[in-house]
Amino acid sequence: MRYAILSDIHGNLEAFEAVLKDLAGTDIQKLIFLGDIVGYGPNPEECITLLQEKFDVIIAGNHDWAVVGKTEINTFNSVARHAIEWTIAYLSPDGKKFLTELPLQKEEEGLTFVHASPLNPQDWVYIFSEHEALRNLRAVKNDLCFVGHSHIPSVFALNEFGELFFYKNFTEIILEGAIRFLINVGSVGQPRDGSSLASYGILDMKKRVFYLRRVRYAFETTQKKILSAGLPSILAERLARGW
């Protein structure tokens, strides 16, 4: 079984379409989305429609829940809050209903899918520190757990001796030699690791390999849409540099 795993599209239709084009013709059986289809970007409704059409598993992110009042909007910084308020005004009732019904976490075929952290998904914790990674790796049921949220692709691996390993700037990870892996697939619509390229992953369960894919897209088009929608200009600027 081969999965494509995407996260944090954030209403960026150009990046989303570029990733789907990258996937076209490849041998993928399941499409997984780890949350934050809306927030920051100018095309939340269009991205929801595409997601509903094509994806097999869809998880809620903090922006998705904030837009429908399930997560407190005051926990966001002013730019994110501005974008959430804009999205509330822009989205259709059907789009909002769809976001309201998204689950926080899903287990499937020995895999865990969650937006932020498997231990307390509703708290939207960022897994940056070794301490946080260990707490989560010890608590998660399955040996492979996939997350998004930080917009930074990375892997934490825990071996049978309790040793923790950390990887970033990788293109593939062989899923052996450790008992548990926590894999962040990065962000499609707003990468924050210094690259403007959209990020997502392909999991090949037969080969036991996770591949990180980076895809060029026309962010200049998204930038123009962000500015003409009246969204904060910093949301356009950051797409060019990936921060």
Minimum CB–partner distance for residue 199 and Zn ion (Å): 12
Is residue 112 within 8 Å of residue 142, measured between CB atoms? yes
How many residues contact Zn ion, by CB under 5 A?
2
Q: Candidates 1-9, 65-73, 215-223, 235-243 — which segment interacts with Zn ion by CB under 5 A? A: 1-9
Could you say which residues in the range 12-51 bind Zn ion, by CB under 5 A?
Answer: 36
Q: Among residues 14 and 36, whose Cβ is nearest to Zn ion?
A: 36
Minimum CB–partner distance for residue 102 and Zn ion (Å): 14
Q: Among residues 8 and 193, whose Cβ is nearest to Zn ion?
A: 8
Minimum CB–partner distance for residue 68 and Zn ion (Å): 16
Minimum CB–partner distance for residue 234 and Zn ion (Å): 15
* Site membership for Zn ion, residue 193 (CB under 5 A): no
Q: Among residues 158 and 222, whose Cβ is nearest to Zn ion?
A: 222
Q: Among residues 85 and 109, whose Cβ is nearest to Zn ion?
A: 85
Q: Among residues 2 and 192, whose Cβ is nearest to Zn ion?
A: 192
SS3 per residue for the chain: CEEEEECCCCCCHHHHHHHHHHHCCCCCCEEEECCCCCCCCCCHHHHHHHHHHHCCEECCCHHHHHHCCCCCHHHCCHHHHHHHHHHHHHCCHHHHHHHHCCCCEEEECCEEEECCCCCCHHHCCCCCCHHHHHHHHHHCCCCEEEECCCCCCEEEEECCCCCEEEECCCCEEECCCCCEEEEECCCCCCCCCCCCCEEEEEEECCCCEEEEEEECCCHHHHHHHHHHCCCCHHHHHHHHHCC
* Site membership for Zn ion, residue 8 (CB under 5 A): yes
Minimum CB–partner distance for residue 86 and Zn ion (Å): 16
Q: Among residues 126 and 167, whose Cβ is nearest to Zn ion?
A: 126
Q: Give the interface with Zn ion as residue ranges (CB under 5 A).
A: 8, 36
